[in-house]
Amino acid sequence: MLEERGLPTTVLALVLPQVEKTRPPRAVMTPFMLGRPLGEPNDPAFQRRVLMQALGLLERTNGPVILEHFPDDNPSWFDRPDWVPAVTLPAPGNPVTSQEWQAALQAELALVFPVWERFKARFGRTTVGLSGQPPEAWPGFATAFLDGELPTVPAHATPALALRFLSDDLKALYSEAVQADGGPPSARQIDGWFWRQTVAGQLLIALRKTAMASENNALKTVGGRFFVPAPFVPA
């Protein structure tokens, strides 16, 4: 659309069928995961290679459709066998009531917070911040949904959105804390740890089930599609 309006474009593409259908003027097809078109975090040299290949297409004249492939996987595409999570947590147990879930999440967060602080100090950033409420409020807010309540916060228009973005903040906090030390593990390692070994992951799976049984259609839709990735939805 932008090229039609007189602007030269180059694409860092992630999905080959979409590139083949839309046929953009210039594209570099990369082998990276959805969500990371530059491939590797905290690796300026690698990112620069990707970016320069895309920018280089702007000087070519053999259009109107140029498609190149970036040849390499990013280093943390591969699992690190020696990876140790920066957070050590007990097994999540089997909370049943909302009070048990709330207590379990509070206890777990108390272990995660100090490590999260280490991540923030090391990387100078955090992606926690979409929920519109401080982490201390999360356990009570999230577990209220298990009792059929529909709380919300001023930052979001509906309870469904409030819970959707709280789930994002929970994932952010844990993903950051578990990466506080060492080089990047693979995304699969982080996700496997979160969804299988933490109270927070188990709670989001429980909230998905609650949401899908809700009479609130927004919560039903959002909970079914936007809380738990397909590989971690219980059979």
Partner 1 sequence: MARLEDIPEPTRTAVREIPCPAFETTPFVTGPRLSERRVAIVSSAALIHRGDKPFDFGSGECRAVPSSWDTSDILMSHVSINHDRNGYRRDLNVLYPIDRLRELAEEGVIGSVADTHYTVMGSTDPAAMVDAANSIANALHADLVNAIVLCPV
- Smallest distance, Å, CB 181 to partner 1? 12
Give 35 or 71: the residue with its C-beta nearer to partner 1: 35
Phi-psi region of 134 (alpha: psi -120 to 50; beta: other; left: phi over 0): beta
Question: Cα separation of 150 and 219, whole Å?
Answer: 9
- Smallest distance, Å, CB 133 to partner 1? 13
Question: Cα separation of 11 and 23, whole Å?
Answer: 11
- Continuous segment of H or E residues that includes residue 141: helix 138-144
- Smallest distance, Å, CB 138 to partner 1? 17
Give 28 or 89: the residue with its C-beta nearer to partner 1: 28
Contact of 154 with 135, CB cutoff 8 Å: no
**Residue 26 pairs with which residues in a beta bridge?**
66
Nearest Cα to Cα of residue 36 among 51, 21, 19: 51
Give 63 or 90: the residue with its C-beta nearer to partner 1: 63
- Smallest distance, Å, CB 214 to partner 1? 17
Question: Cα separation of 176 and 123, whole Å?
Answer: 10
Give 98 or 202: the residue with its C-beta nearer to partner 1: 202
- Smallest distance, Å, CB 194 to partner 1? 9
Which amino acid appears at position 132 of this protein? G
Give 47 or 103: the residue with its C-beta nearer to partner 1: 47
Report which DSSP code applies to 30. Answer: -
- Continuous segment of H or E residues that includes residue 165: helix 159-178
The two structure tokens encoding residue 100: 């048990």
- Smallest distance, Å, CB 94 to partner 1? 25
Give 98 or 222: the residue with its C-beta nearer to partner 1: 222
